[in-house]
Structure 1
Amino acid sequence: MDWTADPWPVVEREREYETGWYTGGYDRVRQPNGTEKDYYWAALPDAVVVLAVDGDDVVFVEQYRPVVREHCLELVAGIVEDGEDYETAARRELREEAGLLAGDVTLLESFACSTGILRHDRGIVVATDLTETDRDLDDNEFLTVTRVPADDALARARAHPANDATIEGVLLARADGYLD
């Protein structure tokens, strides 16, 4: 198959709703066999996930997630704001949520998430050489900073209620030698 050609042309694009958080809609697509089908999507801004290594510990935050009605232990994360790259957003989110300044940040990977439904990219950043500073939480953030021994980070990330971004961050950092 020639992947440079567009065998799936969009014949109609409809935005059905917009919120302060995301836009949702569908594309009516002509499939390679000539039939048409609606493919629904939600478009979210890019996000960054920060795996902060503090000595032999990984910095997590615990927060209540109303959508899943659970307290979750997660890596620091947030939206990439206009004009930011993943590294800049990682530094900002780490300072705001955990009260830590990173001397060094490294982008491990950026990728598209849940490509069957989302238009959303995520970057995983490792932060090291940390120093404490004041936090600057958003008005809807009620976070507790928790340090987890690096040896236990994957097990803690996988514990219920696990989330994809935290597991991805720990696995990528481990694969790249940041966690032994």
Structure 2
Amino acid sequence: MDMEDGDWSVTESRTEYETGWYDGGYDEVKQPDGTTKKYYWAEMPDAVVVVARDGDDVVFVEQYRPAVREKHLELVAGIVEDGEGYEEAGLRELREETGFVGDEAHVLQEYRVATGVLRHTRAVVYVDVEERGETSLGDNEFPSVRRVPADEALNVARGAPANDATLEGMPANDATLEGILLAREDGYL
């Protein structure tokens, strides 16, 4: 049997929980061999990751992440609000979390994240910083702004838990690594 022939039709779709942050559930799907299986998913709003350059430095934020019980050194990131594009959301998140202001953002890449379990799209944007003002943090945001020399940004992004070559041993996340690699590949770093 050619496994490409199946139509992968959904026989049932159910949202089992809603958290205010994301929804979770499953789709029961008819597989190419005629059997059915439940495929579980979590659905999250679109997000943006910001590679912001301030002169010779890349702007990072240090944050405690309760889900993994660790401090992480990360690029600025956040949810795209209703009516926003990735560029607008990136500039807003940068301003809110760091106080840094840029004139425009450029989308480096839009992509789906963890397609085996998530319904989530993310984009990486690049911003040249022009000035710094005040932050406007939400009630669950406590970032510390850190500048990292652009030529060290990849080593920081590859830091623990992958290895301990990060600034003061702090881990970075996958979105940070992806953002730095995309910006470097596109000639921004």
**Shared fold, TM over 0.5:** yes
CA distance in 2: counterparts of 1:61 and 1:129, whole angstroms: 15
CA offset at residue 158 of structure 1?
1.1
Instruction: State the Cα deviation string for residues 40-71 of structure 1 (Å, max 9, x = none).
Output: 00000000000001111000000100100000
| Match of residue 184 from structure 2 | 174
The answer on whether the counterparts of 1:45 and 1:79 sit within 8 Å (CA) in structure 2 is yes
CA distance in 2: counterparts of 1:60 and 1:83, whole angstroms: 26
| Match of residue 148 from structure 2 | 148
Q: Quick check: 97-106 or 118-127, which moved more?
A: 97-106
SS of 1:151 mapped into structure 2: helix
SS of 1:134 mapped into structure 2: coil
The 5 A counterparts of 1:42-61 are: 42-61=42-61
The answer on whether the counterparts of 2:99 and 2:133 sit within 8 Å (CA) in structure 1 is yes
Number of residues of Structure 1 aligned to a counterpart in Structure 2: 178
CA RMSD in angstroms comes to 1.4
Correspondence 1:13 to 2:23: no
CA distance in 1: counterparts of 2:6 and 2:88, whole angstroms: 35
The 5 A counterparts of 1:52-91 are: 52-91=52-91
CA offset at residue 105 of structure 1?
1.0
CA distance in 1: counterparts of 2:6 and 2:49, whole angstroms: 33
CA offset at residue 2 of structure 1?
10
Give, as a single letter, the amino acid of the residue that structure 2 aligns with 1:18.
Answer: E
Q: Which of 166, 174, 179 is matched with 1:164 structurally? A: 174
Q: For residues 6 and 88 of structure 1, do their structure 2 counterparts lie closer, same or farther at Cα, with a shift above 3 Å needed? A: farther
* Structure 2: stretches of 5+ with no match in the other structure: 161-170
Q: For residues 2 and 108 of structure 1, do their structure 2 counterparts lie closer, same or farther at Cα, with a shift above 3 Å needed? A: farther
CA offset at residue 7 of structure 1?
1.4
Q: 4+ runs of 1 displaced by more than 6 Å?
A: none
| Match of residue 37 from structure 1 | 37
Amino-acid identity (%): 61
Q: For residues 29 and 2 of structure 1, do their structure 2 counterparts lie closer, same or farther at Cα, with a shift above 3 Å needed? A: closer
CA distance in 2: counterparts of 1:6 and 1:101, whole angstroms: 50
CA offset at residue 88 of structure 1?
0.3
Give, as a single letter, the amino acid of the residue that structure 2 aligns with 1:177.
Answer: G
CA distance in 1: counterparts of 2:35 and 2:25, whole angstroms: 20
The normalised TM-score by structure 1 is 0.95
CA distance in 2: counterparts of 1:178 and 1:6, whole angstroms: 44
SS of 2:95 mapped into structure 1: helix
